[in-house]
Amino acid sequence: MDQFVQAVINGIMLGGFYAVMVLGFSIIWGVMGVINLAHGEFIMAGAYTTWFLSKQYGWEPLVSLLVVMIIFFVIGYILQRILINRIIDRPPLISLLITFGLAIIMSNSFKLVFTATPRSVDTLLSGFWRTGNVTVPVTKTTILIVAVLMMAALHLFLQRTRLGKSIRAAAQNREAARIVGIVIAAVYALTFAISISMTGAAGTLISPIQPIYPFMGAVLTLKAFAITAMSGLGSIPGALFGGIVLGLIETFVATYVPGIGTNLGIISSYVILVVVLVVRPQGLFGGLKPVEVR
Amino acid sequence: MVRLVSFWQQYHLGRWALIIVALALFALPLAQIIVPERKLVTNSLLFSFTQMFMLVTMASNWNLTGGYTGYIDFGHAVFFGLGAYGTGVLMAKAGWIFFPSLIVGAIVALIFALLIGSATLRLKGPYFSIAMLGTFVAMREIVRVIKPLTGGGTGLTLPPYLNRPLFYYVTLIQAVIVVVFVWWLIKHTEFGQSLIAIREDEVGAEMRGINATLHKITIFTIAAFSTGLVGGLWAYQNTFIDPDIVFIESRTLDLVMIVMLGGLGTIAGPVLGAVLLYWMRDIIWANFLQFHLIIQGLVLILIVLFLPEGIVGSISDRSGGTTIGRLWGRYFTAEEDTAPEKAEVGP
């Protein structure tokens, strides 16, 4: 029983991280129709930035979060302007190939600069809370709280502000949005910048709990896709649901299938992905097509 | 330039160039027999050619799904890995000799392609691409997990081979057979004609009674079998396999780059692309080893941005638009020849 409760707690905490990690991916896809295969690499870059700030200046990951978000906002904006904007009107396969190239460039550049040695970030928020035989790690709880706060903030931004509404309008119907005076190029640049900023922040969140290495990205991209397949594009509640489902499945597999460890995490998300795609190609919530950002 | 291109097209110079190059390559080892005292054919030269032919073969296979059905496969190297591991496990664990293991290894790849293809080839392009990327990443972990069979992360050592030129020959012959087979298939069988019909207009082909999904799965499976053979050969030549060198992501990058560079959906494209990539990589490896994947990624982006037809695609004439335009247009956005989809505007 304790083992079960422990697995549920761990799964939900992992799921909170997955939910915040997937948002950038599903919003870029939902709003712009660009499938960002370099998504995991941006998470990796965010984690490395946090590691660098922590090692060089001794910053807490939670403090770096804001800095990382600003840095990645700027990077995302520039990248959208010089690269993604060129291919936005071309078939999505072009964007697949471009971001695939980008992913390779990023992971290998980071390997060149930081070597392939796995790194880890220390945080003051370590330790455990203990109730009976169930332990609740403080770091992961903090991550879950921050993740939920970030999602709530993004939700409010998309629902309540003019800019957020224009992003949703552009996702729903680009031509109509243009007609009512929304500058599509600006909205896309903003969308990309916000998404990349969220993605970099996800890297900061993951940095205290997982080893950081240059090739961690591909697995995360795949998980992002599996969650998006479950949750639909751009849906924040859906992302939370999909993230927690994946987190629970991964933890339960790791807990109850002996002798296999965490490698099965990627396999289980892959199985979910293929099963969802084959059984319900439109996604569990009917969202695997560009629809409104909720 | 235009006159040169039309001259090239009029006399099918590309085809003749291919045939001449193939004959010259067949004749290359004979030079060693005719003039044994001049060390014309060194082992390292043969090795280079072997590697190049493997690239040609795999890229042609990739081009079967990529070019003839329009599905961009980011996980084709999974069949290479299955072939390599099928062969490796049978030789190292079961003590089989090479050729039966090679065939069984390729059959493993074929069966897997049949299963995964019948699931994923019904999906739309981007979903297929990422599902296959997932197959690739997941297969690496699966191979790592089933330790008793595959040796896990420590890998497998195959019994060493004896005769390097034999390998060169086998690979060469296979590569040539595949290229010729594709050519022959597309030109002279009902199956190939149906594939072309599907490529040109999938809905129209289905209206005329062609089972498009079945054709796509068949060509996918053939490609997987052939790539599985290359994988088995590679494993035997390398004598050591582990998950990280067999399922290395740059192998997929190589295939995508070769076909994009040469020209998606063309026969000569993968050949030309593989030769160019091999030379390019040789130069990069010799001068900036550290940067080679970064440079390759940059080149891929530049090709996609500025030469999306590839080299062969840019010089060959096709009435009614280019292959790539039709494929991508049909699958994804509203372009001229996909009028019914025009209703859906926007992302």
Binary contact (A94, B125; C-beta < 8 A): no
Q: What is the pLDDT of residue B40?
A: 60
Cβ of B115 under 8 Å from any chain A Cβ? no
The DSSP letter of residue B240 is E
**Residues of B whose CB is below 8 A from A263:** 141, 144-145
**Residues of A whose CB is below 8 A from B120:** 274, 277-278
How distant is the Cα of A189 from the closest Cα of chain B, in angstroms? 15
Task: Specify whether the backbone of B95 is left (phi greater than 0), alpha (psi in -120 to 50) or beta.
Answer: left
Q: What is the pLDDT of residue B34?
A: 66
- Answer yes or no: are the C-beta atoms of B233 and B88 closer than 8 Å: no
Binary contact (A225, B134; C-beta < 8 A): yes
Distance (Å, whole) CA B283 – CA B139: 32
Q: At B232, which amino acid appears?
A: G
pLDDT in tens, chain B (347 residues): 566 666 666 666 666 776 777 677 666 666 666 666 666 666 667 777 778 888 888 888 888 888 777 788 888 999 999 999 998 898 888 888 878 888 899 999 999 999 988 888 877 767 788 788 888 888 888 888 887 887 777 778 887 766 566 666 666 666 666 766 776 676 678 887 888 787 777 788 888 888 888 888 988 998 898 889 888 888 887 888 888 888 887 888 888 888 888 887 777 778 888 888 888 888 887 777 778 788 888 888 888 888 777 777 666 644 445 555 555 544 444 333 333 333 344 44
Mutate to test the interface with B, among A104, A280, A293 (most CBs of B within 10 A): A104
* Strand, coil or helix: B211: coil
User: Going by C-beta distance under 8 Å and a sequence separation of 6 or more, which residues neighbour residue A117?
Assistant: A213
- Under 8 Å CB pairs connecting chains A and B tally to 149
> Dihedral of the CA atoms A277, A280, A282, A288 (nearest 10)?
-50
Residues 9-48 of A with CB under 8 A from B: 30-33, 35, 37
Binary contact (B135, A37; C-beta < 8 A): no
User: Going by C-beta distance under 8 Å and a sequence separation of 6 or more, which residues neighbour residue B120?
Assistant: A274, A277, A278, B127, B128, B131, B132, B135
Distance (Å, whole) CA A66 – CA A204: 10
pLDDT in tens, chain A (294 residues): 778 888 888 888 888 889 889 988 988 888 888 888 899 999 999 999 999 999 888 888 888 889 999 999 999 999 988 888 888 777 777 888 889 899 989 998 998 888 888 888 877 777 777 777 778 888 888 888 888 899 899 888 888 888 888 888 888 888 888 888 888 888 889 999 999 999 999 999 988 888 888 888 888 888 888 888 777 777 788 888 888 888 888 888 877 776 565 566 677 777 877 777 777 665 555 444 444 443
Selecting from B126, B135, B145 the residue whose C-beta is nearest the C-beta of A260 gives: B145
Q: What is the pLDDT of residue A198?
A: 92
**Residues of B whose CB is below 8 A from A41:** none
Cβ of A282 under 8 Å from any chain B Cβ? no
Selecting from B127, B260, B347 the residue whose C-beta is nearest the C-beta of A97 gives: B260
Q: What is the pLDDT of residue A256?
A: 78
Q: What is the pLDDT of residue B339?
A: 37
Selecting from A86, A91, A271 the residue whose C-beta is nearest the C-beta of B333 gives: A91
Phi, psi angle pair for B120, to nearest 5°: -90, -25
For A106, the closest chain B residue by CA position comes to B294
- State pTM to two decimals: 0.81
Q: Which two structure tokens, joined as six digits, stand for B73? A: 């496969």
* Strand, coil or helix: B307: coil
Distances (CA, A) of A195 to A71, A214, B204: 12, 21, 40
**Residues of B whose CB is below 8 A from A83:** 301
How distant is the Cα of A127 from the closest Cα of chain B, in angstroms? 31
- Answer yes or no: are the C-beta atoms of A42 and A199 closer than 8 Å: yes
Residues 287-306 of B with CB under 8 A from A: 290-291, 293-294, 296-298, 300-301, 304-305
A166 CB burial (10 A radius; 0-12, 13-18, 19+): buried
Selecting from A86, A105, A277 the residue whose C-beta is nearest the C-beta of B305 gives: A86
Cβ of B122 under 8 Å from any chain A Cβ? yes
For B344, the closest chain A residue by CA position comes to A173
**Residues of A whose CB is below 8 A from B333:** 90-92
Distance (Å, whole) CA A95 – CA B74: 13
As a three-state string, the secondary structure of chain A is CHHHHHHHHHHHHHHHHHHHHHHHHHHHHHHHCCCCCCHHHHHHHHHHHHHHHHHHHCCCHHHHHHHHHHHHHHHHHHHHHHHHHHHCCCCHHHHHHHHHHHHHHHHHHHHHHHCCCCECCCCCCCCEEEECCEEEEHHHHHHHHHHHHHHHHHHHHHHHCHHHHHHHHHHHCHHHHHHCCCCHHHHHHHHHHHHHHHHHHHHHHHCCCCCECCCCHHHHHHHHHHHHHHHCCCCHHHHHHHHHHHHHHHHHHHHHCCCCCCHHHHHHHHHHHHHHHHHCCCCCCCCCCCCCCC
Q: What is the pLDDT of residue B336?
A: 38
Q: What is the pLDDT of residue A75?
A: 93
